[in-house]
Chains A and B, each alone.
Chain A
Amino acid sequence: MIDDLVKSLRPDDVTEESYQARRPEDLQKAFAAKPRRRTPLLVASGLLAAAAAAFVAFAPSATVVTMEGPQQVTVVTEPAKLTARSVLLAGAETLAKTSREAGTYWHEKIRTFTTPAEGVIVASTDETWYDGSGGRTKPAQDVQTTFADAKAESAWRAQGRPGLPGDKEERSFTGMVLAWGIGDKDVRQEDVKRLPTDRAALQKWLDEARPDGEDAGAFTFGAARTILTSPASNETRAALLRILADQEGLRLDETSKDPLNRPGVSITDATGDHTLVVDRDTAKLLAYIYEGEDEKQADTPPGSVMIPAKKGTAIAYLESGWSELPE
C-alpha cells in the first residue's frame, strides 16, 4: 500500500539524533522565556470585576456592521458572478458610503446559540449600551432550549441542565473598561474607534498584532470577526473587508441562512472554523458561527474575564449602532 511505502520514508534516524542533540538547549531556551498569558477575549478593569463577569458573559461578540439609514444601497447586482471576494468588496463599497450614526452609547442586541450537549441548543438574547466606561445591560432574555429528540433532552436534564444563562437582571454599570483581544493587542472602545482607516495602515496594525507563527489568513479572519462586530468606524470596516477579500481559501455559500433563518451569503475561512453570514444586499453582518475546537479556559489577569470559544456557538446580530440610553 502506498501509505505504508511513504511511511517507511520517514527519517526516524535523523530526527532521533537531532532530538538527543537539541533537547537540552531547546528546553533551556524555552524556559528562559515566560509563557504568555492568554489574551482574554474581553478584559474588564477596576474594582467591578464581579459585575464585569456578569456583563462580559454576553458581550464577547459586541457590535455589528451598521448599514441602516437612507444611504443603504444594493451592492450585489450580478449573483451569477458572486464570489467571496466580490461580496467582501461590495460590502466595503457600501460601508465607505455609509455615514456614522449619532449617539453616545454603542447599542447592540444579539441572540446567542450554544450547544452545551449533543443535540441541545440553548438560545438567549442580550442587549447592551456602552459608552466606554458605563452603560446598561439586559442579559439572558427570551431563553429557549431546543432538542434534537427526547433522548437528548433527558440526557441534558440528567446532566443538570448545563448551558442555561444565569443572571437575567437588567442593570446599569459605571467605571468599567472593556477591551477586545486581537492577537497580542487589547483594544478598548476608544482604541477601536481610532483603528486605521487606510488599508495599508490597517494591514500593518494587524501584522503587529498577529502572534508569532500564527497563520495570517486565519488570524485576519478572526480579527475581522472582532472588528466587524465592534464600534470601529465604517472606514476601518471597509478597509478590513478589502483585506479579507484578498485572503486565500475563503469559501462561499450563496444559499446560506443564519441561525434566525435569515437568508444570507456565508463566508468561511480556510480552516473551516469561522463563518460570517452576510446580508447579500446590504453587506450587513447577520451572524458569526464558530465550528473550531473548544478553547480552554485559561488564567487571566486580575479583574479580567476570558470567554473561551465553544464549538457550535453562533451569534446572530439583531440590532446595533450608536444611540442614547433608553428611557
Chain B
Amino acid sequence: MDDPETRFTDLYDLHYRAVLGYALLRADRPAAEDVAGETFLIAWRRFADLPPEPLPWLLGVARNLLRKQRDSGIRAERLLAYLPAADSPDVADQVTEREAALRALAAMAEADAEALILTSWYGLAPREAAKIAGCAPGAFTVRLHRARRRLTEALRPRTLQEQP
C-alpha cells in the first residue's frame, strides 16, 4: 500500500483545481490560492478522517475558511477575469453568451449561484452538495431548481434580443 505522503499527493493532484475553482468564487486569486493551500494543509493534518469520497469534505473545509475572508460574495468582475479564453474569433458569439451567463450568475443570490456551481462544476449529488451548502438535501434541491429557473430567465431577454 502507498505511504501516506504518496496518497496525499494523489489527493492534491486530483482535487486541487476543484478546490481552487470553488474558492475563486468568493476570493481574489491570491487569497483563493491561500485558501486552497490551507484546505489541503488541514486535509493532511486530518488525513485519517477523510471520507472515501473526499471532494465534498474538501469543499466544505474551503467554504468554512472562506467565511473568514473579509471580501466575501461572488463578484462579477472577478469572475469575468477568469472567463476561459476564446480559441478563435469564430467563437466570439459563444464567448459573448458565456460572458452574459457569467454576469447573470454573478448577479444571482450567492446561495443560488453556489448550488449551480457545486452540481455543474463538480457533479456533486444534491445530498453531498447540501452538506457543503449547509442545508438539508430537500432544501438544496429546491434551491437548485430555483437557481436554474432564475438563470434561464435572466438570460432569456438577451437571447431574444440577439435573435434576428
Contact = CB atoms under 8 A, between A and B. Distances in A.
B40 A2 contact: no
Given A11-B24, A18-B29, A26 B37 contact: yes
Contacts of B52: 293, 296
B9 interface: yes
B33 A22 contact: yes
A154 interface: no
Contact of A30 (B20, B40, B61, B136): B40
A255 interface: no
A161 B32 CA distance: 50
A29 B37 contact: yes
Nearest to B8: A30
B151 A33 contact: no
A212 interface: yes
A162 interface: no
Instruction: Tell me if B's interface is mostly helix, strand, loop or mixed.
Output: helix
A10 B4 CA distance: 30
Interface stretch (A83-91, A140-148, A191-199, A213-221): A213-221
Nearest to A11: B82
Given A18-B29, A23-B16, A298-B48, A213 B148 contact: no
Interface in A1-55: 2-16, 18-19, 22-23, 25-27, 29-31, 33-38
Interface residues of A, number: 49
Given A3-B116, A6-B105, A16-B17, A26 B40 contact: yes
Contacts of A8: 84, 98, 101
B136 A35 contact: no
Nearest to A14: B82
A299 interface: yes
Nearest to A217: B134
Given A6-B105, A26-B40, A215-B60, A35 B45 contact: yes
A317 B99 CA distance: 57
A10 B50 CA distance: 26
Contact of B136 (A23, A27, A217, A272): A272
B101 to A, nearest CB: 5
Interface string B1-27: 000110011001100111011001000
B21 A11 contact: yes
Contact of A3 (B4, B40, B85, B119): B119
Contacts of B130: 272
A35 to B, nearest CB: 5
A217 B63 CA distance: 13
B136 A251 contact: yes
Interface in A206-226: 211-215, 217
A271 interface: yes
A190 interface: no
B120 A23 contact: no
Contact of B17 (A4, A15, A248, A296): A15
Given A5-B97, A6-B120, A8-B98, A26 B12 contact: yes
B46 A36 contact: yes
Which of A6, A25, A299 has most B Cβ within 10 Å?
A: A6
B49 interface: yes
Interface string A272-305: 1000000000000000000001011011000000
27 contacts: A2-B151, A2-B152, A7-B121, A8-B84, A9-B83, A10-B84, A11-B82, A11-B84, A14-B24, A14-B29, A15-B18, A16-B17, A18-B36, A26-B12, A26-B16, A31-B5, A33-B45, A35-B44, A36-B48, A212-B42, A215-B60, A249-B134, A249-B136, A268-B136, A271-B131, A271-B134, A293-B52
* 10 tightest A-B CB contacts, nearest first: A11-B82, A15-B17, A298-B48, A30-B44, A213-B61, A6-B120, A3-B120, A36-B45, A26-B37, A7-B120
Interface of A: 2-16, 18-19, 22-23, 25-27, 29-31, 33-38, 211-215, 217, 248-249, 251, 268, 270-272, 293, 295-296, 298-299
Interface of B: 4-5, 8-9, 12-13, 16-18, 20-21, 24, 29, 33, 36-52, 60-61, 64-65, 79, 82-85, 97-98, 101-102, 105, 116-117, 119-121, 127, 130-131, 134-137, 148, 151-152, 155
